A and B are shown apart, each in its own frame.
Chain A
Amino acid sequence: MIGYLVQRLWQAILVLLAVSVLSFVLIFLSGDPVASLVPLNARQEDVDNIRRQYNLDQPIVVQYAIFLRRAVAGDLGESFKFRSDALSMVLGRLPNTMLLACTSMLLSMLISLPLGILAASYKGRLPDALSSLVALLGISMPSFWLGVILILVFAGGLRWLPASGSGTWQHLVLPTITVSAFATGLLIRLVRRSVADTMAQMFVVTARSKGLSERTIAWTHVLRNSAIPVVTVMGLQFGALLGGSVVVETVFAWPGVGWLMIQAIEARDLPVIRAAVLMLALFIVVINLVVDVLYTLLDPRIRLGAKAG
């Protein structure tokens, strides 16, 4: 168990290191970083000064070490555009993104758990076909387009809900539906398969042959055992929801990290892009870690596996 946790923590650190390398390299993918900092007609000595000021004259490994040391200390540079601390700009937006991801997760759970269980219990019949269709539509829908259509219908046509912005719970409704569509489709399919697989297991057959009531079988044998893969994927979907919100926030002008990132891209504001990617990745890694730990508590097989290995 402890061994597993240590291994898992090590893996999380590796991921963060990889992300830091990637976000460090980003600035070089866009060409000479100095070019974006100086006016076109800058004198050569000014260019050299800036190069030195940003340590761009150092070997690349040294530059990375400097970047990493600063990043660990919470210094991700200054926004080119707003001349303010990139990290605090991102952190200021993070609560909004988390809020949207949480409500979306909640909504997709509320829809997908009943629908998935229903589909598994009526496998091959009408409820199964209908919920499978809903699921397939959910994973086939371009989320930003769903957002646009929802705005046109509920904000434009019916005038029930605000089209964009934030502040009240009404502002949260349309973005939540939009972000959750994909995860809902995915979870319906997962819950359906997980419950169906469990129902085919020998211990369920045994329970039934012992004469246990269908209700007992459903609650103590089927649902508990189906929960394991569902919980994992749900936790990991949370990461995907954070990623998906990058796209959807822009549609609704939702003031989260995603919208900030897209605005920063339009302004070619690399420190902000970098800070946004790093922060989102950090959150996703932390959430994945927490999910994995919860998972080991849920599933005894992993504890045994870790001991054996």
Chain B
Amino acid sequence: MSADAEGVAGTAGDGGAVGPLAIAGQPDAVRLPAAAVGQQAATTADAGADHRPARAAAVRRVGRRRRLPNRQVLVGGALVLVTICVALVSLVWTPRPPQAQDLSLSLLPPFWMDGARPGFPFGTDLNGRDLLSQIMAGAQASLFVGVASVVVGGTIGLLLGLLAGYFGGWIEALVMRLVDIQLSLPGVLLAIAILAATGKGLLNVVLVLGFVSWVQYARIVRASTLGVRAQEYVLGARALGANDARIIRRHILPNILPPILVVATINVSSNILAEAALSYLGVGVPLSTVTWGGMLNEGKNVFELAWWNALWPGLAILLVVFGINLLGDGLSE
């Protein structure tokens, strides 16, 4: 992407993100409190509406040279990269088969404690499974659910947001009503309720988490689309005879993409957290697939005896989510 396009995109995204909040005279303002809502909404706003002066400065600077990624992006990116590598390696190699049970090796402590055995640096669980191997394999499920559910939610949200922002009218009214409804309810609650009925399953978790997170995308896409649609180059394209599909593809989409990517990054982390919580509660991914939440679910009866069973999976979740959030914060600045 050229430096110029980046500048335009940044401004468009910024205007879009603050759009519904800033224009007080429009019907939009009536929806303001409901639009500023919810934990997800706050994260979204976090990502988008920060530092307008800084942005302006950045736009000016971009003319001369591309900005180096900041420290947050580097640290967060490194954590994410390590997790991806671990997940990839675990596809072909783990120290032991993650699900291999051996009751003679039950509850071995980690390497620095008395009674530890070489070959089991993180210790073992009640069934004698190697915790290091399970942690490595668990990275697969976490990343898969995180990314896949964002693809599902992002696609729904992008489509509905584009329709609402581009065409307006009753479509917009309908979509925004749906947004209001969904924003009023905590996603985890909805996810638990739906999964309680549909039953567990990796795919079910992906679909349900996607279904409860589309709202964030729909809101930001609609707001950005509204901003971009009024730009001169869109009017120009239309005057030249471009149809709606072409305008959306060539002019709207490239310009609303950056803010969507920031939301998507942060959404990956919140969906990884949600998956872990669901699997811990026993309504998420079934135990036949190794997940960090599932490890905590299985280990909860032995935590007093063998606390390391509680330590590793939680630490793994914390590091990945921390890394992704850091990356998202860095990207949004």
Contact = CB atoms under 8 A, between A and B. Distances in A.
Interface of A: 4, 7-8, 11-12, 14-15, 18-19, 22-23, 26-27, 29-30, 136-137, 139-146, 148-149, 151-152, 156, 182-183, 186, 189-190, 193, 200, 229, 232-233, 236-237, 239-240, 242-244, 246-247, 250, 261-262, 264-266, 270, 273, 277, 280-281, 284-285, 288, 291-292, 295-296, 301-302, 304-306, 308-309
A309 B296 contact: no
B185 A19 contact: yes
B78 interface: no
B184 A186 contact: no
Contact of A193 (B27, B30, B46, B303): B46
B322 interface: yes
Nearest to B283: A265
Contacts of A26: 193-194, 196-197
Given A4-B30, A261-B192, A277-B193, A142 B314 contact: yes
B281 A262 contact: yes
B188 A295 contact: no
Ranked 10 nearest A-B pairs via Cβ: A243-B186, A305-B29, A145-B314, A29-B197, A140-B322, A140-B321, A243-B189, A265-B196, A30-B197, A292-B33
B57 to A, nearest CB: 13
B25 A244 contact: no
Contact of B277 (A143, A149, A280): A143
Nearest to A26: B197
A77 to B, nearest CB: 15
B276 interface: yes
A78 B163 CA distance: 43
Given A11-B177, A240-B38, A262-B192, 7 more contacts: A232-B37, A233-B41, A239-B184, A243-B186, A243-B188, A247-B188, A308-B25
B33 A244 contact: no
A18 B181 contact: yes
A301 B184 contact: no
Interface in B2-54: 24-27, 29-30, 32-34, 36-39, 41-43, 46, 49-50, 53
Contact of A240 (B26, B33, B39): B39
B30 A15 contact: no
A139 B49 CA distance: 19
Nearest to B180: A11
A218 to B, nearest CB: 21
B325 A140 contact: yes
A305 B30 contact: yes
A254 to B, nearest CB: 14
B207 to A, nearest CB: 12
Nearest to B292: A142
Contacts of B311: 149
Contacts of B184: 12, 15, 239, 281, 284-285, 288
Contacts of A270: 196-197
Nearest to B320: A140
Interface in B177-203: 177, 180-181, 184-190, 192-194, 196-199
Interface string B292-333: 010010001001100100110110011001100110010000
B303 A232 contact: no
B325 A149 contact: no
Contacts of A18: 181
A90 to B, nearest CB: 13
Contacts of A27: 197
B77 interface: no
Contacts, number: 198
Interface string B42-74: 110010011001000000000000000000000
A292 B34 contact: yes
A240 B181 contact: no
B331 to A, nearest CB: 14
Contacts of B38: 236, 239-240
Nearest to A148: B310
A142 B194 contact: no
B128 interface: no
A309 B296 CA distance: 52
- Which of B33, B38, B41, B280: most chain A Cβ within 10 A? B33
Nearest to B25: A308
Nearest to B266: A139
Contact of A15 (B33, B185, B280, B310): B185
A250 B281 contact: yes
A125 to B, nearest CB: 15
B273 interface: yes
A26 B26 CA distance: 38
A139 B325 contact: yes
B269 interface: yes
A280 B194 CA distance: 15
A79 B280 CA distance: 25
B121 interface: no
A301 B199 CA distance: 47
Interface in B110-128: none
B317 to A, nearest CB: 5
Contact of B192 (A29, A152, A156, A265): A265
